[in-house]
Structure 1
Amino acid sequence: MQAAIDRVMQTYVMMVNLTPKQESDVRAKVSRFLEDKGDDERRLAVEGLRHLLGHATKRRRAASAQDCVE
Structure 2
Amino acid sequence: MEMVVERVVRTYGMMVTLSREEEDTVRKRVLEFVEGKTGDENTIAVEAIKLLRGPKPSRTRRPK
* Residue of structure 1 equivalent to 2:18: 18
Kindly indicate whether residue 42 of structure 2 is the aligned counterpart of residue 46 of structure 1: no
Identity score, percent: 39
Number of residue equivalences = 64
* Structure of larger gyration radius: 1
The letter of the residue matching 1:4 is V
Show structure 1 runs of 4+ deviating over 3 A.
none
Calculate the TM-score normalised by the size of structure 1.
Answer: 0.77
Q: Identify which range, 2-11 or 20-29, moves more after superposition.
A: 2-11
In structure 1, distance between residues paired with 2:45 and 2:53: 12
* Residue of structure 2 equivalent to 1:28: 28
Q: Identify which range, 39-48 or 9-18, moves more after superposition.
A: 39-48
Unpaired stretches in structure 1, ≥5 consecutive residues: none
Aligned with 1:28: secondary structure? helix
In structure 2, distance between residues paired with 1:30 and 1:3: 11
Calculate the TM-score normalised by the size of structure 2.
Answer: 0.83
Q: Compute the RMSD of aligned alpha carbons.
A: 1.8
